[in-house]
Amino acid sequence: MRDHYDVLVIGAGPAGISAAQTAAAHGVSVGLLDAQPRPGGQVWRHDVQHPLPRSARTAMDHLRGVDFLAQHSVVATESAGLRLETPQGARLLSYGALVLATGARELLLPFPGWTLPGVTGAGGLQALAKQGWPVAGKRVVIGGSGPLLLAAADTLRKHGARVFGIYEQASASTVRSFAWQLRHWPARAWQAAGLRLRLAGIPYRLGSFVRKAHGDGSLQRVDIDTPHGVQTVECDLLAVGYGLVPNTELASLLGCALDHTDTHPRVRVDALFRTSVANVYAAGESCGIGGLSVARIEGAIAGHMAAGHIDDAGALLMQRDSERRFGALLAKHFALDPRLHRLADDLTLVCRCEDVRMGELTGFTDARAAKLITRCGMGACQGRICGTALAELGRFPRGGARPPIFPARLATLAGLANLPSDDAQRGS
């Protein structure tokens, strides 16, 4: 087993796959690792019932000359390389250049009842269904914001779910204006039209959001706020997601500067995808939400750069600029309605790991103080859910990443010099 790669790529979504493939074509040794058991990332996640789109299969078939390291989670950084946890134990890998393609996660906001079994993210339920979660015949309500709700509905429908409705918080006028802007991206307009056609018969309600989930031990019904008043719907599963947030924890641990212009930070890169740390590049949604095409182009640019071929990288820049504008369009049109900030009341749990209620956070203005006193953000998810939600709700920004960035077994951590003692046994 190698312990060094010329180019090591973290995250095997479209960006990472494209970076690995591009770098390998220059003849350097390339490792591509992911915490998941298979390559594909979010959008190309393996589906146990349905084949992936042809473009995804082609991209993965072209991973020749690349070592794919499955179920490898980066948990910490060391001077000699990255500390990884695998089902077989710990590993240390060193690299010449690093490409961070850690992608994005869903923005999940607290509301009364959101901890009931049966309530998931929207992309979350989509991911679970692709991996065999039984949804056939189940009554599903989808809520939140952005085009991911439609993609999730499509997957769930294909898996036999009875999707009762898609409740988009953005207003009818903003969604119409978004659809009109799509004409500048014909491929996407075409995709969107196809999706709408496949989802014909499923109500798509705008200016509507899930206010509350009810159930005794598990989900039974939801209250939905619509422009025409509150509606109550009986259902088995509720899938709610408010868009995507870049995964920046690893970049932050490596010392890469983050861009804090928006509520949720992203990895700061220059025009050629160099981070602020030498020999560390970043691409895809960790650098900002932009979707599949951006991820693939940026991955290719970062792959050329990491392999030392700057001219090849520059040639792709124009193409990606057009695609990035699409990301900006999304952010503008699916901005969250301020009413969503008031969904959680004082009794609503915010930190699901430590069962901290919203009311307990009154008066705190920074994440660290809140964590020390209430334990909010202290649990296994390390604030990825509650810290991100609190930042979105305007309470306080998320605290910085500290090792290990995922809870790790003590054996993995043995010998790590830079481990803060209060975090040593997190998640165990």
Partner 1 sequence: MSPRVRLTVNGHPVDVPAGASVAAAVAHVTLRFRRSVNDAPRAPLCGMGVCFECRVQVDGITHVRACMTPASEGMQVITDA
Ligand X SMILES: Cc1cc2nc3c(=O)[nH]c(=O)nc-3n(C[C@H](O)[C@H](O)[C@H](O)COP(=O)(O)OP(=O)(O)OC[C@H]3O[C@@H](n4cnc5c(N)ncnc54)[C@H](O)[C@@H]3O)c2cc1C
247 binds ligand X, rule: CB under 6 A: yes
Closest distance to partner 1 from the beta carbon of 232 (Å): 21
CB closer to partner 1, 119 vs 297 = 119
CB closer to partner 1, 26 vs 409 = 409
Phi, psi of 99 (to 5 degrees): -115, 120
358 binds partner 1, rule: CB under 8 A: no
Total residues at interface with partner 1 (CB under 8 A): 42
Which residue number places its CB atom closest to ligand X? Answer: 103
76 binds ligand X, rule: CB under 6 A: no
Closest distance to ligand X from the beta carbon of 364 (Å): 28
165 binds ligand X, rule: CB under 6 A: no
32 binds ligand X, rule: CB under 6 A: no
Per residue, the 3-state secondary structure of 193-253, as one string, reads: HHHHHHCCCCCEEECCEEEEEECCCCCCEEEEEECCEEEEEECCEEEEECCEEECCHHHHH
109 binds partner 1, rule: CB under 8 A: no
CB closer to ligand X, 21 vs 102 = 102
Binding span for ligand X by CB under 6 A among 5-13, 179-187, 214-222, 416-424: 5-13
Binding span for partner 1 by CB under 8 A among 74-82, 113-121, 331-339, 340-348: 113-121
Interactions with ligand X, residue window 255-314 (CB under 6 A): 284-285, 291-292, 295
145 binds ligand X, rule: CB under 6 A: no
136 binds partner 1, rule: CB under 8 A: no
| Among partner 1, ligand X, none, partner that 125 touches (CB below 5 to 8 angstroms by kind) | partner 1
Binding span for partner 1 by CB under 8 A among 29-37, 177-185, 288-296, 335-343: 29-37
CB closer to partner 1, 46 vs 309 = 46
CB closer to partner 1, 4 vs 91 = 91
42 binds partner 1, rule: CB under 8 A: yes
Among 6, 106, 168, 225, binds ligand X (CB under 6 A): 106
Q: Which CA distances in Å does 118 have to 113, 124, 159, 222, 290?
A: 10, 11, 17, 11, 29
What is the rounded distance in angstroms from the CA atom of residue 349 to the CA atom of residue 358?
6
| Among ligand X, partner 1, none, partner that 137 touches (CB below 5 to 8 angstroms by kind) | none
**Residue 1 in 3-state DSSP?**
coil
Chain-centroid distance, C-alpha 49: 23
Among 8, 23, 30, 35, binds ligand X (CB under 6 A): 35
Interactions with ligand X, residue window 54-73 (CB under 6 A): 73
Chain-centroid distance, C-alpha 95: 25
Total residues at interface with ligand X (CB under 6 A): 36
CB closer to partner 1, 67 vs 354 = 354
CB closer to ligand X, 20 vs 390 = 20
Closest distance to partner 1 from the beta carbon of 237 (Å): 9
- Interface residues with partner 1 (CB under 8 A) are 35-38, 42, 46, 48-49, 71, 105-106, 108, 115, 117-121, 123-128, 131-134, 217-218, 352-355, 379-381, 384-385, 407, 427-428
Q: Contact positions toward ligand X, by CB under 6 A?
A: 10-16, 33-36, 41-43, 73-74, 101-106, 123-124, 126-127, 148, 151, 244, 247, 250, 284-285, 291-292, 295
